[in-house]
Structure 1
Amino acid sequence: MTEPNDTAPANAAQIADMQTLRAALLAQHKVLIANDRLQYEAVFGPVPTGRFVQLLTEDAWFRWLDPLSRLIVALDEWLEQTPPQADAGIALADEAAKLFRRTDVEFGERYRLALQQAPDAVLGQGQVMTALRGAPQSPPEASGKSDAPVAKEPDASANDGNGA
């Protein structure tokens, strides 16, 4: 119930969990990029590697991957801190959970499409979810109703206001 007012350093277990999360996110990012490249080249034809890197960073086709790319960079920066701060790590894990569980429209639509197109993306989703279960996160009530899983809110209210 106590919320730290000052920042505390992350412990070794949290750092290890965040490294696992980062590895899962990075692997999934790679799979998603490869799948998107196949889809792009099916429409526009083969693209040389150098040009593809430019497209990846500049073309609207790949823009949906930006939140995941920024999250990985933020995790890298957190891991490079001396020492990493526990609360900032929790915030990053919360952000990852929100991205993969309660996604924004653009990321969610394209991500679901990638899961249908690429079997490796389905495997990667499992790895990301496993890593998220291990990473310290805010309790659902602390992160606000918009981040909590949809099914938990009706169950809790049904039990509180309805005895049947």
Structure 2
Amino acid sequence: MTDSSSTSVPAYEKLKTLRPLMLRLHKALLEAEQDSYERVHGPITSKMELFQLVISDEWFDWLRPISGFIARIDESIASKEPVSPNVIHGLLEEAYDILPLQSDEASEAAVRYQRAVDNYPKIATLHAQVMDALKSSSTDTNGAS
């Protein structure tokens, strides 16, 4: 990282901390949705079938913004060019918006996310870990370095 982004080193580190938490949360949500899907439609017989469902079936639509968000984190972390502080801070702010529980609206995504948090202790724990990381990042990114 260059000097122009050195003021965002704590924020960048928080983004790097957030990534594996988001991956674990996303994986747990996918597993929960797969379980729900299979109860309604029968077993998913292969990883390729699951992949096709995840990318194209309406059942999994609500998870796609989380997938895209993780991809944007990956792009920023893997960038060979310096990542601007605005991009880093923007991703940290976007994390709040990407988790449907944080929304005031009762969207399908919010309802399904809440159901997953309520019914799967692992998801509730991961959600709490993500929120802790974000709260920590919001205090660390306000001018601290």
Identify whether the pair has TM-score above 0.5, normalized to the shorter chain: yes
Kindly indicate whether structure 1 or structure 2 has the higher relative contact order, using CA contacts under 8 Å at least 6 residues apart.
2
Where is the helix percentage greater, Structure 1 or Structure 2? 2
Structure 1, residues 12-49: CA drift from partner, whole Å, max 9, x if none? Answer: 32221101111111110000000000000011111122
Secondary structure, counterpart of 2:13 in structure 1? helix
Change (3 A) 1:125 1:103: farther
* SS of the residue 2:5 aligns to: coil
1:1-164 correspondence to structure 2 within 5 Å: 8-9=4-5, 11-48=8-45, 49-81=47-79, 82-100=81-99, 101-102=102-103, 105-136=107-138
Give the number of aligned pairs.
132
Q: TM-score, normalised by structure 2?
A: 0.83
SS at match of 2:73: helix
Give the structure with higher Rg (CA): 1
Root-mean-square deviation (CA), in Å?
1.9
Structure 2 residue runs without a partner (length 5+): none
The secondary structure found in structure 1 opposite 2:44 is coil
TM-score normalized by the length of structure 1: 0.74
State the shift of 1:84 in Å: 1.6
- Of the structure 1 ranges 126-135 and 52-61, higher mean CA displacement relative to structure 2 is found in 126-135
User: What displacement does 1:107 show?
Assistant: 1.9
1: CA distance, partners of 2:44 / 2:104: 30
